[in-house]
């Protein structure tokens, strides 16, 4: 047994560890930031910092749900395609659809339909993975390809511009692209996901199923239901991110969201969630999302070539995961 | 049976350790251990779990590095860079958690890491099978070299692990609890192998909790406690009682006096229960009764538990639980009906190693400690503590991962988990496998206490003396069929074994 003092120090280090990367990236940001007109550091201006939250909102919301999927031992590669599908569906329902009602009900119906269909795609993923025992990677890879195809087919592979005269689409776009709303949606979902994982029976079951499926079976846990639910949540989250994406880009573009799933998974992994399942935290994922966001922001403030940005990102992923791995103490005996 | 060790040759010890120390984090695993192993001797390493036996074996086999101290192999100081180097120098180890690969074939498992068998860049399977066949035969592996290991029983895994070490032509072999998963017939085969190795001058370090085995096969016995070497004696100069006293530092009580089963009510009755591996098993279990289940490899002992728990389809027969018909449909149904199953392989099937002690304890019945979907931490923790105390688990902080506990305490956490569900019938599948003497005693006590509360207990053990001593009756299975039910007061190891080997005198 280690002395209580040692353990407290250890747990303090444990608590700070997820933030070390973020703190380092923030310091880097301050150092590298260009100066404003009056000599202020652009990076730490309130406008810039909240811009980071705004820019990471879509990835952040999906990463929360992805954390649940990964903890339960799965992965969802289809989120980028579901995002594009949702944005495009929103475009069709807001621009091409002309119901007799006012913009209010039309927007409500659009939001509802998008979320339900996103969840439905997740349900299909989950059902096939748990019932037909397909590997999550394979199934969601198929969904990624299939949903992308569906989206292009559905839109005739054209952008649906929201315009500025159409009441419904313009109102929608104005509403869902507001900074406070996006940040609030992210924050509320982060708190909710954290509560689910840390304090509910369902959260406990997810960790158990992800850590040892055999033992979960011997314990009588609802393995299929728990797993399937993570994909449903992930599909709905991707749909929500799609709504935000459509509003912010003022269009429904069937070719958007390509490779978003990789950013989402990167955020989750940087946040310390093990791809092998069983372990991970929402706090870590939020931190991981912010690390990626701050990094992108700083590099863009410095006008760094976006190709270089990708290379830096790659290094950050490796370093972040290695940092978490390094001081994992060996188990006794 | 096994002749005393031949006098040691002029070469000196095969392996000698001086002042070996090792810490894991703040935990002292070894402290200044001096120990030596002579060629041609079988040398027992005894001690409770956490005494340092496995650590010593792992260091000698290059799996772990000592903090200080030195190891001499044949008089030459060695410092392994890893287990591979140790293996090439002629040290073999059979680990308690078998380091085998379920997806590979038997032959491939034997050949892995063997420089002679892996010398060729391209593998021809027939040639490989041919090369490993003698070793498989020697170890008594019944399976085909081409069989996938994952399809075999735990017992066969152990024998494959032994074949693997045999193929290395090792001069020093560490066996860490080699018989913990073996049934008596397989143990006999292992002892024969040990005798042959010994005659060839191989030095064998035998880590075990089973005193009867140690006193049968070992020439010398070293006892460890809390990471220190307490002493080494020749077998002739010591006794089981003396060794156990050295291990635990306290005398062990004798045979348990069981309260008589409450005669009346049947809590579980099976009539011609059949599954893919069970053939017409019938028995009655009264409340407060302890029914021991004996059987050799593939006897269907574990299958019976899985059938009752709804984890394997029942193909025939009827079951009654507390007087009402019961048709196993799945684990949740079994739980609702008051059944509990403590599985055989606690790491694989029982525990969530990285989850906390508390979380492991409450997982099977978490709903009870919730309000509006949220877990009430205080209620959960209180319930966990109560059951852990009942199972006499020793732990520091219930928020620590269960992997930080010793094997015996892990087993107790697993038992506490099922006590929490307040079962009417409890099936414990080999609960004393690979745990230390003190923890075994706690387990017997717990089984008796459960029965005294009116729970019907079914339990499996590969060690007949403890099964007979701690059960009211013994159900003996052989290849899935019931061979008879013996009253434990009249049962002897011989009478049980006769039935278990299929030579029933009925």
State the Rg of chain B over Cα. Answer: 23
CA dihedral B236, B238, B239, B240 (to 10 degrees): -110
Judged by CB atoms closer than 8 Å, whether chains meet at B359 and A217 is answered as no
CA distance B469 to chain A (A): 29
Judged by CB atoms closer than 8 Å, whether chains meet at A200 and B374 is answered as yes
CA distance A174 to chain B (A): 37
CA angle B318, B320, B323 (to 5 degrees): 145
Q: Which of residues 284-313 of B touch A (CB under 8 A)?
A: 309, 311
What pLDDT sits at residue B465?
82
Judged by CB atoms closer than 8 Å, whether chains meet at A333 and B50 is answered as yes
What pLDDT sits at residue B506?
43
pLDDT at A305 over 50: yes
CA distance A8 to chain B (A): 12
Which of A197, A208, A214, A219 should one mutate to test binding to chain B, selecting the residue with the greatest count of B CBs within 10 A?
A: A219
Q: Which among B27, B330, B351 has the least Cβ separation from residue A332?
A: B27
Does the global pTM surpass 0.80? no
pLDDT at B24 over 80: no
Whole-number mean pLDDT of chain A?
89
- Model confidence at A16, pLDDT cuts 50, 70, 90, reads low
State the architecture of B266-338+423-500 in CATH terms.
Answer: 3-Layer(aba) Sandwich (3.40)
Mean pLDDT of A140-166: 93
Q: Which of residues 366-385 of B touch A (CB under 8 A)?
A: 366-367, 370, 373-375
Residue range B456-496, pLDDT digits in tens: 999 998 777 888 889 999 999 988 899 999 988 888 877 88
- Model confidence at B46, pLDDT cuts 50, 70, 90, reads confident
What residue spans define the domains of chain A?
57-258
Judged by CB atoms closer than 8 Å, whether chains meet at A6 and B26 is answered as yes
Helix, strand or coil, per DSSP, at residue B268: strand
What pLDDT sits at residue B252?
42
Burial string for B309-337 (b: 16+ CB within 10 Å, else e) reads bbbbebeebebebbeeebebeebeebbeb
Mean pLDDT of B72-79: 88
- Model confidence at A3, pLDDT cuts 50, 70, 90, reads very low
Place of tokens 């008089």: B75
pLDDT at A330 over 50: no
What pLDDT sits at residue A5?
42
Tokens standing for A170? Answer: 């313009």
| Range ranked top by mean pLDDT from A20-24, A174-178, A230-234, B293-297 | A230-234
Side-chain half-sphere exposure of B376, counting CA atoms within 13 A: 10
Say how far apart CA B302 and CA B425 lie, in whole Å.
15
Mean pLDDT of A21-26: 82
Is the minimum CB–CB distance between B26 and chain A shorter than 8 Å? yes
A329: chain B residues, CB-CB within 8 Å: 25
% of chain B exceeding 70 in pLDDT: 90
Helix, strand or coil, per DSSP, at residue B83: helix
Comparing B160-164, B297-301, B458-462, the range with the smallest average pLDDT is B297-301
Judged by CB atoms closer than 8 Å, whether chains meet at B26 and A1 is answered as yes
- Model confidence at B319, pLDDT cuts 50, 70, 90, reads very high
- Model confidence at A187, pLDDT cuts 50, 70, 90, reads very high
Residue range B363-401, pLDDT digits in tens: 999 988 998 889 999 999 999 999 999 998 888 889 999
B348: chain A residues, CB-CB within 8 Å: 212, 214-215
Closest-CA residue of B relative to A1 is B27
CA distance A220 to chain B (A): 5
Judged by CB atoms closer than 8 Å, whether chains meet at A220 and B373 is answered as no
Closest-CA residue of B relative to A217 is B331
Helix, strand or coil, per DSSP, at residue A211: helix
- Model confidence at A234, pLDDT cuts 50, 70, 90, reads very high
Residue range A243-283, pLDDT digits in tens: 999 999 999 999 999 999 999 999 999 998 988 899 999 99
CA distance A16 to chain B (A): 18
What pLDDT sits at residue A333?
34
Is the minimum CB–CB distance between B354 and chain A shorter than 8 Å? yes
Taking CB atoms and an 8 Å cut-off, how many pairs form between chains A and B? 93
Residue range B202-225, pLDDT digits in tens: 999 998 877 788 899 999 999 998
Contacts of residue B259, defined as CB under 8 A and 6 or more positions apart, other chains included, come to: B288, B448, B451, B452
Q: Which one is the CATH code of B15-248: 1.10.3290.10, 3.40.1180.10, 3.40.50.300, 3.40.630.30?
A: 3.40.50.300
Say how far apart CA A314 and CA B401 lie, in whole Å.
32
pLDDT at A11 over 70: no
Phi, psi of B471 (to 5 degrees): -130, 155
Specify burial of residue B236 (Cβ count, 10 A radius: 0-12, 13-18, 19+): exposed
What pLDDT sits at residue B200?
87
A276: chain B residues, CB-CB within 8 Å: none
End-to-end CA distance of chain B: 31
- Model confidence at B34, pLDDT cuts 50, 70, 90, reads very high
What pLDDT sits at residue A165?
73
Answer yes or no: same fold for B15-248 and B266-338+423-500.
yes
Judged by CB atoms closer than 8 Å, whether chains meet at A2 and B366 is answered as no
CA distance B392 to chain A (A): 18
Sign of dihedral through CA atoms B121, B124, B127, B131? Answer: positive
Which of B23, B24, B26 should one mutate to test binding to chain A, selecting the residue with the greatest count of A CBs within 10 A?
A: B26
Judged by CB atoms closer than 8 Å, whether chains meet at B331 and A218 is answered as yes
Which of B22, B359, B363 should one mutate to test binding to chain A, selecting the residue with the greatest count of A CBs within 10 A?
A: B363
- If you ran DSSP here, which 8-state letter would residue A163 be given? -
Which of B355, B376, B403 should one mutate to test binding to chain A, selecting the residue with the greatest count of A CBs within 10 A?
A: B355
Residues written for chain B: 506
- Model confidence at B113, pLDDT cuts 50, 70, 90, reads confident
pLDDT at B353 over 60: yes
> CA B464 → CA B140, B169, B478, distances in Å?
22, 33, 15
What pLDDT sits at residue B488?
85
Which of B342, B352, B380, B401 should one mutate to test binding to chain A, selecting the residue with the greatest count of A CBs within 10 A?
A: B352
End-to-end CA distance of chain A: 13
Angle, helix A179-199 to helix A46-71, in steps of 10 degrees = 30
Burial string for A135-171 (b: 16+ CB within 10 Å, else e) reads ebeebbbebbeebbebbbeebeeebbebeeebebbbb
Is the minimum CB–CB distance between B260 and chain A shorter than 8 Å? no
Please report the ipTM that was assigned to this predicted complex: 0.85
CA distance B38 to chain A (A): 26
A212: chain B residues, CB-CB within 8 Å: 348, 351-353
Strand partners, A251: A161
Residues B488, B474 contacting (CB under 8 angstroms): yes
Judged by CB atoms closer than 8 Å, whether chains meet at B26 and A331 is answered as no
What pLDDT sits at residue B261?
65
- Model confidence at A332, pLDDT cuts 50, 70, 90, reads very low
What residue spans define the domains of chain B?
15-248, 266-338+423-500, 351-409
Residue range B250-296, pLDDT digits in tens: 544 445 567 776 667 889 999 999 998 899 999 999 999 999 999 87
pLDDT at A185 over 80: yes
Mean pLDDT of A122-147: 97
Judged by CB atoms closer than 8 Å, whether chains meet at B348 and A214 is answered as yes
| Range ranked top by mean pLDDT from A111-120, B12-21, B288-297 | A111-120
Neighbouring CB atoms inside 10 A of A99's CB total 11
Mean pLDDT of B413-420: 94
Closest-CA residue of A relative to B97 is A333
What pLDDT sits at residue B124?
79
């Amino acid at each position: 047994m280690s002395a209580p003092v040692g353990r407290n120090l250890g747990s303090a280090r444990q608590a700070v560890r997820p933030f070390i990367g973020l703190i380092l990236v923030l310091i880097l940001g301050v150092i590298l930031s260009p100066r404003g007109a009056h000599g202020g550091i652009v990076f730490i201006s309130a406008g810039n910092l909240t811009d980071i939250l705004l820019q990471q909102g879509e990835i952040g919301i999906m990463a929360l749900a992805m954390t649940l999927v990964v903890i339960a031992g799965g992965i969802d590669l289809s989120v980028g395609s579901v995002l594009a599908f949702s944005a495009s569906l929103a475009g069709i329902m807001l621009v091409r659809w002309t119901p007799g009602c006012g913009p209010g009900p039309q927007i409500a119906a659009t939001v509802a339909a998008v979320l339900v269909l996103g969840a439905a795609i997740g349900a299909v993923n989950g059902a096939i993975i748990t019932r037909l025992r397909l590997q999550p990677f394979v199934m969601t890879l198929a969904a990624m390809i299939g949903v992308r195809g569906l989206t292009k087919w559905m839109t005739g592979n054209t952008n649906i511009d929201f315009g500025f005269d159409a009441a419904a689409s313009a109102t929608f776009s104005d509403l869902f692209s507001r900074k406070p709303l996006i940040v609030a949606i992210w924050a509320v979902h982060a708190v909710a996901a954290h509560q689910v994982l840390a304090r509910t029976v369902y959260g406990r079951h997810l960790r158990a199923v992800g850590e040892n499926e055999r033992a979960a079976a011997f314990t009588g846990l609802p393995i299929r239901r728990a797993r399937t639910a993570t994909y449903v949540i992930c599909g709905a989250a991707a749909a929500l991110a799609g709504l935000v994406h459509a509003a912010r880009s003022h269009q429904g573009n069937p070719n958007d969201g390509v490779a978003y799933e990789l950013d989402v998974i990167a955020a989750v992994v940087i946040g310390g969630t093990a791809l092998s399942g069983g372990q991970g935290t929402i706090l870590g994922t939020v931190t991981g999302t912010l690390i990626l966001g701050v990094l992108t922001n700083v590099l863009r403030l410095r006008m760094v070539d976006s190709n270089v940005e990708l290379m830096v990102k790659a290094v950050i992923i490796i370093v972040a995961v290695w940092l978490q791995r390094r001081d994992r103490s060996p188990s006794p005996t | 049976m096994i002749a005393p060790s031949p006098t040691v040759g002029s070469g000196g010890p095969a392996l000698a350790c001086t002042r070996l120390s090792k810490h894991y984090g703040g935990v002292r695993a070894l402290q200044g251990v001096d120990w030596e192993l002579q060629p041609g001797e079988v040398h027992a390493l005894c001690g409770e779990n956490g005494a340092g036996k496995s650590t010593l074996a792992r260091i000698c086999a290059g799996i772990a590095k000592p903090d200080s101290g030195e190891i001499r192999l044949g008089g030459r100081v060695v410092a392994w860079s890893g287990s591979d180097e140790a293996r090439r120098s002629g040290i073999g180890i059979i680990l308690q958690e078998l380091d085998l690969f379920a997806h590979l074939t038997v032959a491939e498992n034997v050949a892995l890491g063997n420089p002679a068998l892996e010398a060729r860049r391209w593998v021809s399977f027939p040639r490989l099978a041919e090369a490993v066949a003698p070793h498989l035969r020697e170890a008594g592996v019944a399976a085909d070299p081409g069989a996938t290991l994952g399809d075999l029983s735990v017992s066969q895994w152990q024998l494959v692990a032994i074949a693997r070490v045999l193929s290395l032509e090792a001069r020093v072999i560490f066996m860490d609890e080699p018989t913990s998963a073996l049934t008596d017939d397989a143990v006999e085969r292992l002892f024969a192998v040990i005798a042959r190795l010994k005659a060839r001058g191989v030095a064998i370090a035998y880590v075990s909790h089973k005193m009867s085995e140690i006193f049968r096969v070992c020439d010398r016995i070293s006892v460890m406690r809390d990471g220190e070497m307490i002493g080494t004696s020749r077998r002739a100069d010591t006794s089981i009682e003396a060794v156990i006293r050295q291990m635990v530092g306290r005398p062990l009580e004798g045979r348990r006096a069981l309260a008589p089963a409450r005669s009346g009510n049947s809590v579980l009755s099976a009539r011609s229960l059949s599954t893919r591996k069970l053939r017409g098993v019938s028995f009655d279990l009264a409340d407060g009764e302890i029914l021991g289940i004996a059987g050799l490899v593939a006897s269907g002992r574990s299958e019976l538990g899985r059938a009752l728990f709804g984890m394997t389809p029942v193909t025939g027969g009827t079951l009654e639980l507390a007087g009402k018909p019961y048709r196993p449909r799945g684990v949740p149904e079994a739980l609702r009906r008051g059944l509990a199953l403590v599985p055989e392989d606690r790491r694989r099937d029982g525990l969530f190693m990285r989850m906390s002690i508390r979380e492991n304890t409450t997982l099977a019945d978490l709903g009870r400690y919730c309000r509006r979907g949220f877990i009430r931490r205080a209620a959960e923790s209180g319930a966990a503590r109560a059951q852990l105390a009942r199972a006499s688990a020793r732990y520091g902080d219930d928020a620590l991962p269960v992997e930080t506990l010793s094997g015996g305490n892990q087993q107790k956490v697993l038992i506490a988990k099922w006590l929490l569900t307040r079962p009417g019938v409890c099936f414990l599948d080999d609960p004393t496998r690979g745990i230390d003497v003190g923890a075994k005693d706690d387990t017997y006590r717990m089984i008796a206490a459960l029965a005294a509360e009116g729970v019907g207990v079914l339990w499996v053990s590969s060690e007949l003396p403890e099964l007979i001593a701690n059960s009211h009756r013994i159900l003996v299975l052989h290849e899935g069929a019931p061979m008879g039910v013996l009253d434990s007061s009249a049962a002897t190891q011989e009478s049980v074994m006769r039935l278990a080997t299929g030579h029933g005198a009925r």
